[in-house]
Structure formats: structure tokens, C-alpha cells
Structure 1
Amino acid sequence: MTLTTNQKTTILILLAFIFSIAVRLIWVGQFSNEEQFKFNDEFMINTNDGYYFAEGARDILAGVSENSNDLSPLESALSVLTAFIVKILPFSFETVIFYMPAFFASLLVIPIILIAREFDRLEVGFIAALVASIAWSYYNRTMVGYYDTDSLTIVFPTVLLWSLIWAIKTNEDKYFLIAALDAIAYRWWYPQSYALEAAFIALIAIYAVYQYVKKQKPETNLLLISFMLFAMVNLDGYIRLGIVLAFYIVLKIKRELVFKYLYYILALAVVLFFLTGGFDPILAKLKGYVFRDALKSDANGLGLHFFTVMQTIREAGEIPFEMFANRISGHTITFIAATIGYIWFAYRHPVMLLALPMVGLGVLAYGIPGLFSGGGLRFTIYAVPIMALGLGYIIYEVSNWLSTKLIRQKDRLSSKYIFMTLFSLGALYPNIAHVIEYRVPTVFTQDEVKLLDKLHTIAEREDYVVAWWDYGYPLRYYSDVKTLIDGAKHSGAVNFAVSFVLNSPQDRAAKMARLDVEYTEKRFRVNEANKGLDKNHTNYVKFLSSNIEQMTKDYGYKDTNDFLNSLDEDIKLPAKTRDVYLYLPNRMLGILPTVALFSNLDLMSGKKRVTPFFYISNRVQDKKESLELGNGVSIIKNMGQIQIGNQKLLMNSFIVTEYDNDGVLRKNIQVIDKNSPISVIFMKNYNQFLVLEKKIFNSTYIQLFVLENYDKTLYEPVILDPMAKIFKLKI
């Protein structure tokens, strides 16, 4: 039986899709008996950001129509699509959000195979689909449980690339329409798609100019650019859809008229593109990753300086070449082969140069030495499908060459496929090995989620929980409360207040918590009142760009340092409109120094203050005369001394904390030298030592979580658990 090209294509797509799903189910098999990764007998997700979209989908299903003050993404594409799927399919909400990434991400195999089909190289597409679907960076961001927009963020541009290639090669109108519709859908799904779409257009425009110079006819490419620009104008998605469909209908009915006035239509599209925003969103989204500084200065008001979050995020940091290559192709060797293969592919078929924007974004992860620093891990994902096509191409061509040169005529076809199979298995091996080793846990454990679920029964929907931004989305999802910062709202300006609360003495922390919550709500009310008003309107309310700046002004200060010092006094606080809780998890101990960075600076000058000493150790060597904590830190037995590097000094105090059989925290405190700046805490149940300077020792986080020394006039314990402690603010 001879299969048609369509049948072959369908079979290869199904095989690649099933393979992609099957590899992602390895994680499920590894953790099927791990009860701490489940809640209510369902696997929990393993990415913080996923809880943001889950909150939106949950609220849509619950019939919530407006909640401007709690930031639930009711209009997010992922939330809307999830709610729709839950409504029409007989699966639980938790099952859908857990398996959804694996299903949608595996759709990537379709455009990859279709691209290769256009060059009569289905084998290339099949190999590429297998490799791309499980490549390191793609798998990491689309595995089961990784509920995020990444599940389709690469699928859409790869579909766009396929439609653009087919449009240019065939000049068929339907591919112009498909390209435009994909651009609209891509923007709906991922608004940051603007830059990539613009890069595709720029390349087509360059090719059109080349055609014009060579006195060839560029009209079809200009028509394609017009479709793309109409799809990209910065208007509502439904309006763009209407424009594109209307343009397509006119093209089908009055084709000659469209080409007669094509240059006018293109000019109109260009004008609309720039009038509605042009390139503004492109640079705005990328500059935070490519051009980032340690401090950001607020140009308004007092011109305060804040610590930026970007260099604290691993995915936005610079990466070594080996990691860069591994994340794109699984190994340095396969990456080099893929690069050669792509160049070879593009040399044979120049239309593949259209893929350069995706390759370029991938290179952006590593940067170009001497020109710009890398944008970090997140960008490698864009190069995956293109490099996979390059790898598939070189495997195909080399296998074909080997079979021609080494094998006799009648066995060449079978030998070619044997070579292709062996090379493909070699390319797949490091990626599958990574999948097996990449045993990423869920965001929270079952025990932690039980605490958040309990808080849900205590706190009201309008209450706030002060917590670091890493925990913002899960708190909002499981406890249905508000937070000050989260995975998207975490600029230096908003992080400052939460960092200040966690790292300041209890009185100052309590006042700042109440202030920041009430000012955050006030900002929502002011923004609502200002809607539709010009800034010069008499009813327009001016509110400075950061809460701390507005507080400084409202309390009559011109220097924020003076205002912060006033928190030591009995200042008048805003009227209480809701309850405020502090969420203090054990897992935050490891990032406490990073949290402190955001408030440990002079906001007026941007000058960093001296970082207080803080060290955690849970790998202790008990020697005859000392306890070695690692990194040159040791406790000298029987002398009450701590050695840090070459410096020895008496400890201020040595404290042992331990939970009794009733779960009550017991403390054994030995004061040694009240004048010493260093204290040591041994958290016996956690088997970890804390060596910390006085400022951190007196911080609200250490006093409330580690020692449970809380000011009863300021805080009320709500949940006291070794995993996390939650306190309610009394003021």
C-alpha cells in the first residue's frame, strides 16, 4: 500500500505528538507515589506563575465578573481557555491545569513537520519534531504541571513561520490570511509577541526591497506585509480580526483592484501601525532583560532609587555557553551540528532565513560578547524548533551521503534510514536523559498548601497577606486573599515595602504593613477615579508613582529616610479598612539576604547600605573542639566563640529552638556577650544553624518565624506550624 503525502504527514505528526506526550509522562511515573506533591488526591502544578492564571480561570468559573483590586486575570487568554476546557470536558480543574501544558506544547510538532514538508523533507520534519518537543528548555517550560503561557508561546510563532514560508513560496491567498490570523491569535495569547512579529515583517520587507532593486515583482510580498501590519495594529483584537477578514474578502472579490492600489493600502497599514503604537511595546518589553542596571531611579517626585528585581532572577541572568547549547539542542555537539545544519538548510532554501528572528531571540539568551550581555535562560526556547530543523536537516543529508558513499545500490535506502535512526537516537539521548534527571518538585508541598487552605477559612477575600513575591500567586489561589506583590508585580518600588516589613523590627514593620496596604487600596481608588480624565482636569487626583514616595509627601517630609525614621515614633496611621496577615514560611530563610537587598539601601541616593552578616548551615561537622559550619564559619566549643574567616569573637547569644510533642516551640537561650553583634540559632528540628548579625536577628521574620517572639500589641498568631507561620496585624 502506497501512502499519500497527506497520509504520511498525518502519521508522522501523530507519532511525534504521542512521543512528546509520553516523554512528559515520565514525571508522573516518577512521582506517582509522592503524596506531598498532591492536594485532594490531585497533582499540584510546579510553576509559581501558573497559580496566577489558575486564579483567573477559577474566578471565571465562579462567575466573578469584576475584581479590579485583586488583579485576578479574568481576561487572560490562558485563564479563559482553561475555564472553557473545564466546562466542556469531564475532567477536574486540577487535572486540566496539570496536563494542559503537555498537550498544548506537543502541538509544536505540527508546524515543524509542515515546514519540512514544503521542502519535500518529511523525514527532516519528523526528526526535528522529536528533538524540539523534548529539548531541554522547551521541556522545562512545558512539562506536566508547568501551567503557563509557554505551552503555546513557541507553537504560535512556529505556525506563523510555516504560514509565511508557504505564503512566499506558493503566493496563495489563504496563507496570507493564516499568517494574519495567527498573528492575531498569538497577540491574544502572548501580548509580548509584538517584537517577533515585527522582526518577521522586517525580513519580508528587506526581501521585497531586494526584489524591487532586482526589478522583480514584489507585490505579493507587499500584500503579505499589509496583511501582517493590519493584524498587528495596536487596536482591540476583534477590530484587527474584522480588518483582516474584510481585507481578505475584498482581495478575493476585487483582486485586480487591490493590486492596483496596493501601495496605498500598504501605506495605510504602515500609518495605522505607527499611529497605534508602532515599536513602543517592542523595546519596552525587552529592555528590562537586555539593558538592566542594579538600581532604577524614579524620575517623578523625589526621584527615589529602587533595587531592580531583574538581576535576582536566574532566568534573566547571563549563562555559560555550554548551558546555552544544552538548553537549545541537548548537548554542545548537537548544537554545533544544528547550527551547521540550519546554515546549510538556509543556503539550499533561502526562505528559511525567515526563521532568523527566532534564532536571534535564542542567541539573545547568550548575548554577543563585546556588544551586549545575554538576556538569560528564558529566551533559549525560541531557537529550539529552528535548531531542531537544522539538526534534522544535517542528519538527513549526512545519512544520505553516507549511504551513497559506503553502501551498495540496492541497500542504500534502508541504510539511509538506519543512519538517520542512529543519529536521531544520539540526538535524543541527552534530552531524554535530562527529562529523567529533571525531577522538579511542585511549587508547594501538601503540608504547606493545607496551611494556605486553612487561612482561606480565616481570612476574607478583601484581606491582604504580606509575603514575598515568590508566594504571591499561590497565596491568592489557595487562600483567596490579596497580596502586595507577586510574580508580575515585583518592581523595586513595590518590593521595597514588603522587604522593609520582613527585615525591620516589629514596630516599624507593623506600621509599614498597614501603611502599604492602605496606600495600595487608595491607589486603586485613585486610578479608578482618574479613568477617562486628562491629567490637567480639575478632578484628576495626582498620586505619586510609588507608595513610599506618596507616604513621604503625605506625612510632610522631603526626605524618605526622615519618614522611615519617623516610624519609630507614634505616628498616625491610615484608618484600617481590612485585616492584614504576615505569611512567614520556612522556605524563605534561604532567600532572606536577597529579600533584604530591596530595602537595604538609601532611597534618596540609591547607595547600598552595609549588608549584615547572615549564614545558614545544615551540614555540620562535629569536631573535638568545634562545630564546623562550612565556608570558614565555626563555633568554638566551651568558649562561646564564633569564628568567621580569620575573625574570632564571642557570641551575643546561643539559642536552641525545638518543637515539643504538642507542636509548641521551646527555646533554650544562653546569653554570652550582650555587646557582640553576632548571635547563633540552632533550629534543632530543621537541623540547621543560623549565624546572624544583630539587624537580621531583630528582624520581624526572624523574631516571628524562628523564635516566635512577637509583640502581642502588634501581632496575633493565626497559624503556628514548622512549615510556615501566619500572624494577623492588630493595628
Structure 2
Amino acid sequence: MHKMSRFSYLNLFIFSSIAFLFSFVVRLIWVYQFNDYEAFTFAGQFMINTNDGYYWAEGARDLLSSISQKYDLSPIDSAPAWLTYVAVKLLPFSFESIIFYMPAILGSLIVIPLILIAHNLKMIEVGFLAALLGSIAVSYYNRTMVGYYDTDMLTIVFPTFLVWSLILAFRTQEEKYLIITAIEIIAYRWWYPQSYSLEFAFFGLILLYMLIFQRKNIFYYQLLAIMLFAMMGLDALIRSGIVMGVYWLFKQEKFQKYTYGILAVAIALFFLSGGFEPIWVQLKGYVFKDAIEVADAELSLHFFSVMQTIREAGQIPFSVFAERISGHTVTFILSLVGYGLLLKRYPVMFLALPLLGLGFLALWGGLRFTIYAVPVCALGVAYLLFTCSEFIMTSFVNDRVGSIVKSSFVILASLGILYPNLLHVMNYRVPTVFNQTEVAQLDMLKSQVQREDYIVTWWDYGYPLRYYSDVKTLIDGGKHSGEVNFPVSFMLTNSMESAARLARLEVEYTEKAFSLEESNTKKSKKEKVKLVNNTAKMTLDYGFRDANDFLDALQTPLVLPEKTRDIYFYLPYRMIHIFPTVAQFSNIDVMSGKTAKEPFFFESSRFKDEGALLHFGNGIVFDKAKGTLKIGAQEVMVKQFIQTSYTPEMKFSKVHNTLHVNGVFSIIYMQAYNTFLIVDEAMLNSLYIQMFVLENYDERFFEPISLEAYAKVYKLKI
């Protein structure tokens, strides 16, 4: 028995090692493809390829330097930052190499719980194939590839381990799996604070099972109680201490009779500690999302919801949904059939339903959820494949022939389900967040700014700017609700004069809000000062009752608050592609919530010049002789044609031709980018078009700091 056990563990180690190496090596394909591409490197190191990664990198950087200041939002207390800090201290590799390769290492750990689950069910070969598929499945690969330095590195690994420990808890009912499950929940929450919804789904499923099948089995009451203690809304160390104490009580036979009371206490503490509140917030954000957010304040304002613009949070077609989970629609359907058969043979596999269910939420909640279904579907299709192989084996009278046919089927079928995913890996040549030139500019900027200074830009670039230039931003990948996006959108899409004054106001009010929030934490509930969003507070402070009147007044010489720090504007070329979305956030009547008339902005890099006519696509044609623009059936006069370019010495130049004084639109040809812009008067006069596209700036308010083709940086003078 001892020898069998050692042989079993050896098998487990071998299968896990091979699967892990396979997963990691596949992720090196990207490195091979771009090994000689210098644009993706900086200071001789590959850069990461996800914006959010720079958030965790900022926290790790600040931990390593021991430098952090108030209100800089650096995640120095986060799990990814601390894990990176430890890795840099212990390993002989550079910081940049560690954050680049860490996703491939940690993400590949998914193979271990998949093989452990199958090993426990006496079918390790199924676990091995599931590990191969699950580790490189489209959505899982996309979020754990080299450079994808984000919480997704372990976000699926932890709950898959949780499924494993719960399966063993059900099958063995040994007390040790109570503490293992609780520790996994605490570790999962430490790593990914948004894990509460999934944890609660596991809890609810086990509760339902107990009420139907195991009402008299005290073990399940203990399991539910210790899970609730681990899920409370308290600090991880406090929960760990409570869990250890409860586990000790459950191990003492004399305390068995108090199990129901302990469960009652766990339920009470769970709700009293706010354990359910974050779950409701998550549901509201992704399932019951509204287009307009109403900010409750003395002056109720309406803002555009960011959830309406994030592709990850939008509905997706079934084919995309299936391909992201299993690589191919057929494979996905077969995986569901396989999971059904697996569930029939091993009913305990119902514990994987929360992962599968959360994956299905992607159909209306957005593609980000598909990643959760990957491990379950991988196990499902692997089980179906081996079930079919066993059927093939029994169909042959000659065992040797049957064995050959079975082996051939397993190999070919395995390659068949792996191939679409491997093909995706080879074709998924995702770029780094910024290229080398852009980062060089930000690195240069770092030497000219102070850590307390602000850079105004769109939230997509917030984290990289904070990491490379070590400054503050108003919005970023985590702080981009409608009410904070509104003023930044307004600055970028309105006149330079209005933008300049609002920038100073927004920065100073943001800093005051930080101070007020901090002072509130030290006050009793009655003493707390109600926090009001900046736009509403500015409106009231300047004596207006209508926020629209306040916004109009920004074009007049308002008395501005005292300057406490410098402010810069970062205007990258890449913002052109999302500029209509940027404009959407301020294209709203904040008092009524009604959308204003959409400004006209059209970008075209796929145009066709036919001499007299210039075709931009989408039915938009420019008649050069008449100076008119045909948009569908409508023909309108063009006010001006502007061409911008760079000399060989990279000096900016522009040529301006007036076509019709009363024209409606302007056409801008950005020769260096081979791109045309067609804009109305409002877009033409916006800060972004004037200062980035045309390099026009109001010297009363701005001075240029760095005018590169990829991005332009200006300093606010007021």
C-alpha cells in the first residue's frame, strides 16, 4: 500500500511537471516572435502588455524603494505587489523580467488543481489532458500570457484549488479539509478582493445540497460555518485567527454539540461585518448596469456609466463565448456533454457549477467572465474523450488492436482539441501597452516633474503614466466612474480656456476630497462630512444651482483656488482611435441626464483617392472640385482642409486651406500617420484636436514640454 501510494505521488508529480512545462513553453512563443523587436523593449527588457499591470508594478516599485506618499493610490498593500516584492528580493532576476514572466509561471499553476481533481477521482489521464487544454485555452491564455501582469495570474487557480478541496471534503469528510478550504478562501480574497461573489456561490450551493441531502450530517454544518468565518468582511489576519480557533473547536469532540450555535454566530458575523454588501455591488455593476449614474449630493447630477463602454462588460455572441472557453464551438459543446457525463458518474462534480455558471455570465455580463468556465470545460471534454476511448477499446475483440485504435484516437482527438488553442496562441501577437519611443518620452518627463504633480489624460493611460513618470492622475484603470471621467472628458473635448480652468479646479478639489475622506475615517457617524462629487461642489461653491451654468462660466476669468502643484496634459496619438468614446462622457446634460447632440468625429486610414473624389469609407466622399462632403444622401460644404506633416528633422508643419467660410466640417490630413480626420466645429476647437493634432496652444494657459509624434505634453501655466 505504501509503495502504491509512492507510485501514485510520482505519477502526480510527473504529469503535473509535464503539463506545467507545456503551459510555460507555449507562452514563450510570444517571446520568440518578438525577440528582435526593439519597440517592445525598454532598457533592454520586454515591457508588459496590459494597462492594469502597471498598477501592481507601481505598488511593487514603491515597496522596493520604500517611497510612497499620501493619496498617490499606489497599491503597496496589494497581494500582487507584495508577491512581486518578495520575488525580486529572493530571485536573481531584474524587476522587469519578473513582472514580465510571472504571469506565465503563476498562470501555469492551473494544471495542478486540475490534475489533483482528476487524480482524486482515479482518472489522472483525464486531468492531464484537461491541464494541457485548460492552461492554453483562449481566454485563459490571453490573461496569463507573458507580460499580462495582473491578478488573473492566480484568479482562476485559487477557485480551482477550492473546488479540489471541497470535493475531497465531500468525499472524505475529514476535518483537515475544513481548514484547507478556509485557508484557500482567505488566500483567494487576499489575492483577489472581488472573489466574494464566487465564494458566496460555493457557499450557497453547499447549503442547498445540505438542506436537501445532508440535514443530519454535522460535518456540512461545520464546513458552512468555517466558510462563513473565512468570508467575513474583516482583515485577513483576523479571519485567519478566527478560522484557526473554530477549526480547533471542531476537532474537540466535546464541542460538537455547539456546532449549530457556531454556525449561527458565523451567519450573524458574516452579515454584521458587511460580507454580503460587496456581492450586491458586483451584481449591480455587471448584471444590473445602467447607462446613466446619478451622483447623490446636494446637487444631484447625472453621468455616463463607464460600464457601457467597456468591451469586457458588454454582451458577446455565442460563437465568441464558446471559442474563448474551449478554442472551438464544437469543443465547447462536447465539453458540456462531457461535464454532464462526469456529473452523472461523479455527482460531487456539482461543486464545479459556480465556476461554470460564472463563465456563462459572460453571455450578458461580458467576455471577462469566460475565463472561469475554462477549467470545468477542460475537465468535461477530457472526460468525454477518454470515455469514448474506453468504448472504442471494448468494441474490439482483439485487445491489442483495440489498444492501438484507442491510443490513436486519444492522440488524434487530443491534438484536435488543442490545435485551435495553439493556433490562437501563434496568431495572438498582442503588443506591449506602450512602445519604446513613448516610454522614453515618459521616462524623460519623470526628471521634470514632482511626485505630487498631476497629468491629465484619459484613464486608459493612467497606470502607465504613474509608473513611468511617477506622477498622479485624475483617472485610471480603477478610478473611472462617470463622475470622475466627466471633467477629464470635458477638458479634452472643450476649449483650451475652459479646460485650463477646470484642470486647476479638478486637481485642487480632488486633493481636498482626499483630505476630507481621511478626516472622515477619524470621526463618528454623526460627525462625518458628506462627500460631494467635485462637479457638484464646484457648482455650489461658485454660487450656481445649475451645473451647466458653471461649466459655461469656465470661459470667463473665474477666481481659481491657490495652486498647490503643477499640472500637465498628456495627449497621445493613440487617443484618436477612442476619441468619440472619450467625448461621450461629457456629451451629456448633467442636470437632466439627457445626451446632447453628438459631435461629429470621423477617422479614416483606409481611404481611396480617385483624383476628383476622395473616398473615406462608410459612404463618406469628398468632392475636391466643389469642396463638399457627401455623407450618405446629404451633401455639406467643407469649411477648411488642413494638412499636417513632419520634416525629415521631425519638425511639425501644417498647411491650411479655406474652402467655404460657412462650411460645416473641417478635413484634416495627418500625413505622418496616413490618417484623415473629419470633424465639426466643436471637435475642431477641442483641446485634443488643437493641441495634439494641430499643435495650436493658448500661450495664456499652456506651454509645451515635449512635442513628439507619438504624444505631446503641455504644462498648465495657471
TM interval, short-chain normalised: over 0.9
Distance in 2 (alpha carbons) for counterparts of 1:257 and 1:234: 30
Aligned to 1:321: 318
* 1:481 pairs with 2:460: no
- Please, what is the CA RMSD of the aligned residues? 1.3
CA drift of 1:397 comes to 0.3
Distance in 1 (alpha carbons) for counterparts of 2:651 and 2:45: 31
Distance in 1 (alpha carbons) for counterparts of 2:531 and 2:234: 28
Contact 2:636 2:664 in 1 (8 A): no
* 1:134-179 residue CA offsets vs partner (Å, 9 max, x unmatched): 0000000010000000000000000011000001101112111111
Aligned to 2:35: 32
Aligned to 1:704: 691
* 1:458-479 residue CA offsets vs partner (Å, 9 max, x unmatched): 1111000000000000000000
Aligned to 1:662: 649
Aligned to 1:144: 146
Among candidates 505, 526, 531, match of residue 543 of structure 1? 531
Aligned residue runs from structure 1 range 642-681, under 5 A: 642-681=629-668
Aligned residue runs from structure 1 range 481-500, under 5 A: 481-500=471-490
Aligned to 1:85: 87
Aligned to 2:72: 70
CA drift of 1:651 comes to 1.3
Aligned to 1:57: 60
Distance in 2 (alpha carbons) for counterparts of 1:598 and 1:631: 24
* 1:434 pairs with 2:424: yes
CA drift of 1:67 comes to 2.6
* 1:330 pairs with 2:327: yes
Contact 1:305 1:606 in 2 (8 A): yes
Aligned to 2:442: 452
SS of aligned partner of 1:4:
helix
* 1:621 pairs with 2:599: no
CA drift of 1:278 comes to 3.3
CA drift of 1:535 comes to 4.3
SS of aligned partner of 1:385:
helix
Among candidates 37, 41, 44, match of residue 41 of structure 1? 44
Aligned to 1:307: 304
Among candidates 560, 566, 588, match of residue 601 of structure 1? 588
Contact 1:211 1:218 in 2 (8 A): no
SS of aligned partner of 1:662:
coil
SS of aligned partner of 1:325:
helix
Aligned to 1:424: 414
SS of aligned partner of 1:293:
coil
Which letter maps to 1:565? D
Distance in 2 (alpha carbons) for counterparts of 1:646 and 1:657: 29
CA drift of 1:287 comes to 1.8
Aligned to 1:394: 384
CA drift of 1:212 comes to 4.4
Contact 2:214 2:220 in 1 (8 A): no
* 1:443 pairs with 2:433: yes
Distance in 2 (alpha carbons) for counterparts of 1:543 and 1:141: 36
Contact 1:209 1:218 in 2 (8 A): no
Aligned residue runs from structure 1 range 213-362, under 5 A: 217-252=216-251, 254=252, 256-362=253-359
* 1:630-652 residue CA offsets vs partner (Å, 9 max, x unmatched): 11112212332222222223211
Which letter maps to 2:228? L
CA drift of 1:414 comes to 4.6
* 1:346-372 residue CA offsets vs partner (Å, 9 max, x unmatched): 111111001111110001001xxxxxx
Q: 1:176 to 1:542 in 2, by over 3 A?
A: closer
Contact 1:407 1:415 in 2 (8 A): no
SS of aligned partner of 1:722:
coil
* 1:161-213 residue CA offsets vs partner (Å, 9 max, x unmatched): 10000011011121111111000000000011111111111111122112346
CA drift of 1:218 comes to 1.5
Contact 1:43 1:94 in 2 (8 A): yes
Aligned to 1:370: none
Which letter maps to 1:379? F
Aligned residue runs from structure 1 range 158-197, under 5 A: 158-197=160-199
Distance in 2 (alpha carbons) for counterparts of 1:553 and 1:344: 64
SS of aligned partner of 2:515:
helix
Aligned residue runs from structure 1 range 571-610, under 5 A: 571-610=558-597
* 1:428-452 residue CA offsets vs partner (Å, 9 max, x unmatched): 0000011111110000000110111
Distance in 1 (alpha carbons) for counterparts of 2:257 and 2:638: 86
After the TM superposition, which parts of structure 1 deviate over 4 Å for at least 4 consecutive aligned residues? Answer: none
Contact 1:499 1:595 in 2 (8 A): yes
SS of aligned partner of 1:642:
strand
Gaps of at least 5 residues in structure 1 are: 367-373
SS of aligned partner of 2:696:
coil
Which letter maps to 1:155? V
Which letter maps to 1:249? W
Q: 1:468 to 1:186 in 2, by over 3 A?
A: same
Distance in 2 (alpha carbons) for counterparts of 1:258 and 1:500: 63
Aligned to 1:369: none
Contact 1:651 1:680 in 2 (8 A): yes
How many residues matched? Answer: 715
Among candidates 18, 26, 47, match of residue 15 of structure 1? 18
* 1:554 pairs with 2:549: no
SS of aligned partner of 2:85:
helix
* 1:529 pairs with 2:535: no
Distance in 2 (alpha carbons) for counterparts of 1:612 and 1:407: 75
Q: 1:438 to 1:130 in 2, by over 3 A?
A: same
CA drift of 1:407 comes to 5.8
